[in-house]
Amino acid sequence: MLEVVRVPVLSDNYVWLIHDSVSAETVAVDPAVAEPVLQAAAARGWTIGQIWNTHWHGDHVGGNAGIKAAAKAWGGCTITGPAAEAARIGSLDRTVREGASVGIGDHVARVMEVPAHTAGHIAYHLPDDGMIFVGDTLFAMGCGRLFEGTPAQMFANMQRFAALPDDTTVYCAHEYTQSNGRFALTVEPDNMALRERMEAVDTARARDEATVPTTIGLERDTNIFMRARNVAELAQRRAAKDAG
C-alpha cells in the first residue's frame, strides 16, 4: 500500500508526499516550496527521490530546485513534468505526455493530459491504487480557472474524471472547498447531497481541518462543473464563479 501525506504550504496549497514502504521510495507532487516538504519527509525518515509536476505555475514547481539540491545527499531526485510545458518549468529531468507511465516502486501512474487551467496540464492516475493527483484541474466541488484553455477542454476533462471509479481518491492542490461549495449552492440549491456535504465542510473548516482528498463519487454528486450537462453550461458556471 502507498502512504500519502498532505503537506500544507503557503496560504492554501497542499503538496502531496507519496511513500512506498516496500521500495522506500518517496515522491513529492507539486512542491510549491522546498523546506516544509523536506521537513515533512525527514520527520518520517523518508528521502524524496522523485518530484511529479502537473503544470508550470510557481506554486507547484517553486520547490523543485531546493528539493533537488537537498537530494544530492541521498542519491538525487528525478523531476518529471508535462512535455508541453518543459520550457516553462526548466528543471525537468523527464517529460511525459498522454499515456506515459511513471512509477514509485511497483506502483504505476498513467499520465493524463488535461489542458485548460494551463495549456499542458497533466494528471497522474494510479488505477491499481485507486488514486489520482490532479493539480489545479479538479477541486473539491470545483475546477481550475481557464487561464490557458477553453470551456470545451475543461468539460472534456470533467467527463474523463467522471468516468473513473467512484472510489478513486482525488488529490487536488488547494484548500478551496468551502468557497467552491458556497458557490455551488447558488447553482444547485436543492441538491441535498451538496447541502449535506457543505455542512460537513463548514464544520471541518471551523476546526481548521482539511477537506481534501475527495473522491470521484463524491464529486459526481456535488461538483457543479463535473455535473454540467454540456460545454455551454460549464462555461456559464465558470464565468459566474470567476465574476464572484
Could you report the per-residue pLDDT of 117-171, keeping only the tens digit for each? Answer: 999 999 999 999 999 999 999 999 999 999 999 999 999 999 999 999 999 999 9
55 classed as catalytic: yes
Q: Quick count: other Cβ atoms within 10 Å of Cβ 108?
A: 14
- Find the catalytic residue in 19, 57, 107, 121: 57
190 a catalytic residue:
no
- DSSP codes of every residue in the chain: -EEEEEEEETTTEEEEEEEETTTTEEEEES-S-SHHHHHHHHHTT----EEE-SS--HHHHTTHHHHHHHHGGGT--EEEEEGGGHHHH---SEEE-TT-EEEETTEEEEEEE--SSSTT-EEEEEGGGTEEEEETSEETTEE---SSS-HHHHHHHHHHHHTS-TT-EEEESB--HHHHHHHHHHH-TT-HHHHHHHHHHHHHHHTT-----EEHHHHHHH-TTTT-SSHHHHHHHHHHHHH-
Q: Which of 19, 30, 107, 117 is catalytic?
A: 117
Domain boundaries, the chain: 1-97, 137-244
How high is the pLDDT of residue 122? 98
Architecture of domain 1-97: 4-Layer Sandwich (3.60)
Annotated catalytic residue, options 19, 55, 107, 121:
55
Backbone angles phi, psi at 22, to 5 degrees: -70, -50
Left if phi > 0, otherwise alpha if psi is -120 to 50, otherwise beta: which for 191? Answer: beta
Annotation says 19 is catalytic: no
Is 174 considered catalytic here?
Answer: yes
- Three-class secondary structure of residue 187 per DSSP: helix
Return the pLDDT at 1. 86
**Hey, do 1-97 and 137-244 end up sharing a CATH topology, with the first three levels equal?**
yes
Catalytic position from the list 59, 107, 121, 125: 59
Known catalytic membership, residue 121: no
Catalytic residue status for 59: yes
**Running along the chain, 244 residues long, what does each successive block of 10 average in pLDDT?**
96 97 98 98 98 98 98 97 96 97 98 98 98 98 98 98 98 98 98 98 97 98 98 98 93
Average pLDDT along the chain: 98
CATH level 2 (architecture), domain 137-244:
4-Layer Sandwich (3.60)
C-alpha cell belonging to residue 128: 491499481
Residue 85 pLDDT: 98
Q: What's the confidence (pLDDT) of residue 90?
A: 84
Check if 107 is active-site. Answer: no
